[in-house]
A and B are shown apart, each in its own frame.
Chain A
Amino acid sequence: MSKIFVAILIGCVFGFVRSRVGATNPKYIQGLLRLSRLHLMKTILLVIGVSSTLMFAGLMTGVLDAGHLGVKTAHAGVLLGGIMLVVGFAASGYRGGTGRATAATSRKGVWFFVLGGLAAAVAFMPSYTWVASTGILSEWFGDKVTLGAIAGINYPALLTGIPGAWIGIGVGLVLIAIAVALPNALRGHATVNSDGPADGRLA
């Protein structure tokens, strides 16, 4: 029951914050893809950087248990899936999980977005056997690989010789630095007129 309570609490907070930072707004998502509104990218990089740094610091000091970690297997489907996600984001202005949060903001189009997702899930389950037979889900570099070896768990590591915790903290600090250094936009905003050609070149 405590797990369910935590899921409710964290889920609510997560959805609330996602809405507040604009992650449920198609305008900001498409601005992110156009590089004309980068606050979401800065936020995401900052979150990953801070989380990574704190988590690995916690693991080194023994505050956190490495048994709670859980990573996914890398394969061609991960790369293809990443491509497909952004194609879908760009076309609709909605993201996957965030799209469900957007549904709560009463944008009507998002309910058709959600239905499309349900249709995809229904289509994926029976097609899974065929997808797996193509080899696209065959693991790359081994099962559940991390950059460095993390003490306390047996995930294989790509880099040897450097403790995984230090790599994690280093990567985290780099992501924080990138988040801070990124400007709010790398190109101007696009505005909608009634006439005129489109021009997306940098000002």
Chain B
Amino acid sequence: MPPMTAPIWLWGLLALAVPLALHLYGRRPGRTVKLGTLRDIPATRVARTFALRVEDHWRLLLRCSILALVGVALAGPLIPTRRGTGSIVLVSEAVGSAPLVDSLRGAGATAFRLFEHEDAWSGALRAAEQTSGPVHIIGGATVGELGAARPSLPNPVQWHRVTPGLAAADSVPVQSALVLTEPLTVTARRRLDAAIAAIAAEAGLRPSDLVVTTDTSARAAPGYRFTLTAENVASADLPFRLAESWLAPQREQAIRQLLVPLAMAAPVHAAGVAVPGSSSSASRWLLALAAILLLAERAWALRASRVAA
């Protein structure tokens, strides 16, 4: 039995009792009428006996398997085919955690970044599909990172809460900031420029204080680094987020939070790519199969009722 992410749904398999009960008790007609003679009742095709036919057993099996597939799909099984045993580090985007990540990396973990609007738990689910080793989630102070409901994972999950690197930021002058980005499209670049110009204007910085570069060798430069990817530049609320941080009461702290060093000492697995694989792929296959079987069952029922009618 593969590990399940939401084993509580397995209780849904109790619903299998419903088609079984209908099967066993449904064959009895509701009411018995006694008559003096049955001669008037047409005995041809309309007089259909309600006794169990062999066909009915197959239909029961079909219906039960549909319900079972749905129940198991909802429970979210993790198919252990492609799983490794290494540990995985998931890093939430706007968090400074270089030392921690580096140390975990040194211990043999692979680091991935979470998708921009992805909550930590979905990321952890996908990580669990990749490996059976421990999953480290490095997250910031935002509650939104937690996501909706904690899935039950077979892997040990460790959560490292890291506040945006204020301490590290203290020693670095705010005015200098380096924005690293991968090559952007024209529109994306324009957006970025607009956002930076707006921030610079508000912060009283000169635009030249915020350097935008695609030169990855600049990573080694001191100061704040804020690495942008094509994805998060293209995101609709980049300016909003930038401005949001900007609108925080303490401007300085806001800027620091904004320009927190992402701190991946080495390039990310693939820039902008978070944990590969789609979430709950096994569930999706099971649901697809259940849908196909449901269509087949309905077609069968339709054909059977047409024959009888």
**Do A and B share a complex?**
no
